[in-house]
Structure 1
């Protein structure tokens, strides 16, 4: 019952003090007090040791939600010496600490902590190494900092069994950083990895590429529209080869057309129309067709303005 109540309270971000006080009360309970005083693992049976590990974990989870590093360190130290240092830091507590650092936008400390967990696993102090889900949290923290280089470095050093989320997060980090060459490189590394070993957990997704399309739309690269178009065509090829499970959707086409719309190319509207006409799925889509017509209209107006300006300049030169 104690463990259940503590676990429930630990999920409330404001209840860390209550969780700690409840655990301290347990230390003074007559049936447990003499066991804690013995400070030996043999004083607790297997079931009691599991409950103790969970209660230590709940206390650490609770303080993690408040971001109180000092109390976390205090309870980890208590865990390491009671009883006989035989109780492991449970997974819930490990994850909570990583989340705490990531929420604080401090992936450096999150990385350091995961490396400490890896070392503890190698020493036999915890039962399992940091898993892919935990490591993906750190990748996402680097993505939030727009740092693809650090995300890629952490991926290569720490993640032994990456999944599609791992790759997608590095891709997103490079896309946010503005390094689209690297983002595309990682996307095709994911494709190659899946082709080599067709694990469903590593199957490329629409999101693998739509994040790149969106980044090209934001990009000021003069070739952004051509690059976005190429990515979308490659998505079709991957679908035809049964690697992607779904064709590029309306949003993907809209993103590419948006990229053509902001292009400085003089024939951007024409290329956008050719691009849309090449799609059997969306060439008759009214919204996309309307978008291209508007692009054509603006392009004609712009060209007329340029021509009128040129004619005026020519006339002025003749008059001089």
Structure 2
């Protein structure tokens, strides 16, 4: 640094010395070279301007010649790389002096070139030129092209600004140009607020909205579910005397149906008829779909009858909607009969969506043979299964543990050129996780990424859930952090999996932490989330806190199910709070909830401890036959393990009275206990009763103990 400073000081000193003591040397050394350099720059600039002018003239000549010969394609490809955007603007200015058609011809060629497509000055120059020439419609066309080009590039705001600038300069833009902007705003920005702001600005600039303006606004508000605003614009449209078409009405009706507001949907349907707008097949299908989604399938069929009476023929989408509704209601066989009716119909044959709906329904009720049959049938009818069809069937096989068939379907799907989606991989990753094959799940995840697919929140949640079920919350947390790092926002299902994992391993501190995070983020905990927290506190012998969580759950409108009640009853029983557990059980029955088998067994064990066998038998008799068999055997074995032979015998006799045969292991447990207590006469009696019932013990251990008992009694 010191050397550089020294050199600089020496140079400056030398220059000062030359100027003072030798002026002629200064002129020769410094002034003359500078002047020569300026001359070279000036000459170069003159040559550039001259060359540029020649270049522009060449373009103008080509455009003029081809335009007058009536050729629409300009042979300018060889000059395109050299042409700058500013030069393109200059060519437009030059050509418009002779003929606006020439300028417009060149302009349309220029904006097809990617490097000039988003140069706003080019559009402004062309539009102003056309306005000056009195070609207003053509100017509007240029501005509409600008709007579309800029909106596709995500620069719609720049285009909007230019539109208003040109409008304020004296070019009165027509409503079609403003509607063009409005449509692009609604499609690209997907914001009804921005559209509404533009609408107000448009009115403020003296542009009178037309029917198209209102339809665009109504469509935007309907898609976003802002139905008050949509109806406000509908009223304005009617007040101004514009004709409202079925598409506009159906859009709002569909929005109401999506939100389950069927009363409002039908109210608008009636208003539609009152204003002289006749509903069409799409309107009826939309309402039928809404009713099916709301579980009101019978009403949907009633509306179908009304539709047919009025002369409207239902199409494949109408029938597919009804099939979907029947399947979601659990009436799969009725849906299948409707499908067969469609197959035989000559008017509306089932499509891929129809078959996929039925295949999914059969997969859900574990009738995979039927699902496979429909899969083959649709192909026989010339319908190619899509990604959703394959995914549904793969998911069905995975849930049933048929991984071999699931992988065959995946391979076939790829072979037939049907690209698997992230949903497809999620289904098969879930399948291998259910089998505990986490390494294979990660292999599939790598394959998925190699195909250019990004793991979504479902992918992460499946893996997090599996790690939590295995008690590996550390790896689950790593995945959770990785998920957020990759911009994938966890949802309530992800948090629930994590909370459940922490509760399972007894880490209530972290469970509480992530539960609080759920609330802070404005998420709504579901039944599974609350039940996990209740289970965690019960496991930690904090049943009182679990009760408070359940109270909060009900307060927040989340109704506990039998699993939630079961977890809390189990926790109360472990803390010997039997009265509270019984009260909760009674409350559960009043809510018409069906207790699960575990809850029954928990209470049966409690009543057994209290020796209230009348209540024990009442609870046992409430179970179905399979559950009753399991419960009797488990309770008897439990009493045997606790050494309570009298209780075990009594329950055995009650079991036999109900014509329920004990399991081999139950007899083994009883005979083993008799042997330990030395009550060989009881063992002998059991042996005789077993023989009467036609039961012969198979286990060697039981045989030895029985023979020992017989020998002791004999001697």
Q: TM-score range by the shorter chain?
A: 0.5 to 0.7
Which of 53, 73, 86 lines up with 2:121 in the alignment?
73
Measured in 2, the distance between the counterparts of 1:232 and 1:16 equals 60
Which of 233, 240, 255 lines up with 1:215 in the alignment?
255
Structural mapping, 1:1-320, within 5 Å: 2=64, 3=67, 8-9=72-73, 17=80, 51-66=98-113, 68=116, 73=121, 91=139, 92-121=141-170, 128-144=171-187, 145-159=189-203, 160-194=207-241, 202-217=242-257, 219=258, 221-223=259-261, 225-239=262-276, 244=277, 247-263=278-294, 268-279=296-307, 280-281=309-310, 295=325, 299=329, 312-313=594-595, 316=600, 318-319=618-619
Normalising by structure 1, what TM-score?
Answer: 0.64
- Give the drift of 1:135: 0.8
Measured in 1, the distance between the counterparts of 2:267 and 2:223 equals 20
Measured in 2, the distance between the counterparts of 1:234 and 1:140 equals 27
**Shift in alpha-carbon separation, 1:7–1:101, aligned structure 2, 3 A:** farther
- Answer yes or no: is the 8 Å Cα contact 1:175–1:183 preserved in 2: yes
Q: Secondary structure of the residue that 1:156 maps to in structure 2?
A: helix
- Give the drift of 1:169: 0.8
- Answer yes or no: is the 8 Å Cα contact 1:148–1:170 preserved in 2: yes
**Shift in alpha-carbon separation, 1:106–1:77, aligned structure 2, 3 A:** closer
- Answer yes or no: is the 8 Å Cα contact 1:60–1:72 preserved in 2: no
- Give the drift of 1:290: 8.7
Measured in 2, the distance between the counterparts of 1:298 and 1:78 equals 58
- Give the drift of 1:108: 1.2
- Answer yes or no: is the 8 Å Cα contact 2:117–2:149 preserved in 1: no
Deviations 1:99-135 (A, max 9, x none): 22233243312210110111111xxxxxx41111111
Q: Secondary structure of the residue that 1:313 maps to in structure 2?
A: coil
Measured in 2, the distance between the counterparts of 1:75 and 1:286 equals 47
Structure 1 unmatched ranges of 5 or more? 29-35, 37-47, 122-127, 195-201
- Give the drift of 1:215: 3.0
- Answer yes or no: is the 8 Å Cα contact 2:144–2:177 preserved in 1: yes
Cα RMSD for the two superposed structures: 4.5
Measured in 2, the distance between the counterparts of 1:110 and 1:168 equals 22
| Corresponding residue number in structure 2 for 1:199 | none
- Answer yes or no: is the 8 Å Cα contact 1:58–1:93 preserved in 2: no
Structure 2 unmatched ranges of 5 or more? 1-62, 333-364, 366-560, 562-591, 604-617, 621-715
Normalising by structure 2, what TM-score?
Answer: 0.31
**Shift in alpha-carbon separation, 1:291–1:137, aligned structure 2, 3 A:** closer
| Corresponding residue number in structure 1 for 2:38 | none
The size of the alignment, in residue pairs, is 263
